[in-house]
Amino acid sequence: MWPSIHLSGTGVTISAYHLFHVVAWFVFYFVGTGLTRSRPDLRRHWLLTAVGLALCDTVGARVAFQIIHGRGSSGFFATPLLFAFLTGAYCIARKVRATPFIDAWAVAFSASHVFEKIACLAAGCCFGRPTQSVFGVAIGAMHGDTTRYLPLPLLEASLHLIMALFLALLYRRGLFQGRLVMLLGVFYGFWRSATDLARGGQKSPFLDGPLSVAQVACVLAMIFSLVYLVTKSGESRHAR
């Protein structure tokens, strides 16, 4: 866990976890508005969805984790899925044209989650299993615990960065228009469910089976996204 900033005389403590989350919200907004700068009418939607991300990271994540795990903490997989659902509902309610907003949303989502995962690393949560590897991180070193763990948040941050750059390239070249968010769903669902195999700490099994709730949710999201991509690809070929 990284040190916190204590504001003397105020009783307020700002942790690195909170700071990186705030950075993530701003990154989401500025990446989104930057990609759609030719559409100033979308800025209001970017601002409102950035506020939605902040609410998912705070209130929504805690409520979701309380329901699923029975105790308060960060929302793990629930945050991105909840945010994606709320964004979709918002676009339908406000009649926001899916392209280019949703395509740019996929890029902004991945870019912002680079810092969301660094926030997890700073807080010492979402860590992997204990390891003797040189890549291990002693998340409890400040409290005398020298046990080293796999730095899964750092791995996920790297994957989000690669995905953000890849999606931005596709966006700039006009490829997979209207389908970038589903492409993100396939890759995110795959690596999130795969990395859960190496995740440490307490996990909630789905119906007392071998898979966790997070893995089942991510696999379902991956399947849905993949079916959508295949269906749309078939429609494009028939249209030709």
Comparison of pLDDT for 179 and 131, the residue scoring more: 179
151's tokens: 């730095």
The pLDDT tens digits of the residues spanning 17-36 come to 778 888 998 999 999 999 99
Comparison of pLDDT for 73 and 173, the residue scoring more: 173
* pLDDT for 184: 92
Say if residue 75's pLDDT is above 50.
Answer: no
Please work out, in degrees rounded to the nearest 5, the angle formed at the alpha carbon of residue 67 by the alpha carbons of 58 and 215: 90
Per-domain boundaries in the chain: 4-239
C-alpha 107/C-alpha 170 separation (Å) is: 10
Candidate ranges 30-34, 127-131, 190-194, 227-231; pick with highest mean pLDDT: 30-34
Say if residue 210's pLDDT is above 90.
Answer: no
C-alpha 49/C-alpha 95 separation (Å) is: 14
Comparison of pLDDT for 138 and 39, the residue scoring more: 39
* pLDDT for 78: 61
* pLDDT for 194: 86
* pLDDT for 161: 96
Distance of CA 230 to the CA centre of its chain: 24
Please work out, in degrees rounded to the nearest 5, the angle formed at the alpha carbon of residue 132 by the alpha carbons of 128 and 134: 90
Q: Which residue has the tokens 């916190």?
A: 4
The pLDDT tens digits of the residues spanning 136-185 come to 777 665 556 677 888 888 889 999 999 999 999 999 999 988 889 999 99
Provide the pairing of β-strand 4-7 with 12-15.
Answer: antiparallel
Burial class (CB in 10 A: 0-12, 13-18, 19+), 159: buried
* pLDDT for 223: 92
Candidate ranges 46-50, 85-89, 95-99, 206-210; pick with highest mean pLDDT: 46-50
**What is the separation, in whole angstroms, between the first and last Cα of the chain?**
55
Mean pLDDT of 179-196: 89
Give the sign of the dihedral formed by CA 24, CA 29, CA 30, CA 36. positive
Mean pLDDT of 109-114: 93
* pLDDT for 2: 55
* pLDDT for 73: 41
185's tokens: 């769903």
For the ranges 16-20, 130-134, 204-208, the lowest mean pLDDT is seen at 204-208
pLDDT band for position 233 (cuts 50, 70, 90): confident
* pLDDT for 151: 83
* pLDDT for 4: 53
Comparison of pLDDT for 12 and 180, the residue scoring more: 180
C-alpha 152/C-alpha 62 separation (Å) is: 21
Q: What is the pTM of this model?
A: 0.82
* CA-based nearest residue to 125, from 13, 14, 21: 21
C-alpha 47/C-alpha 24 separation (Å) is: 13
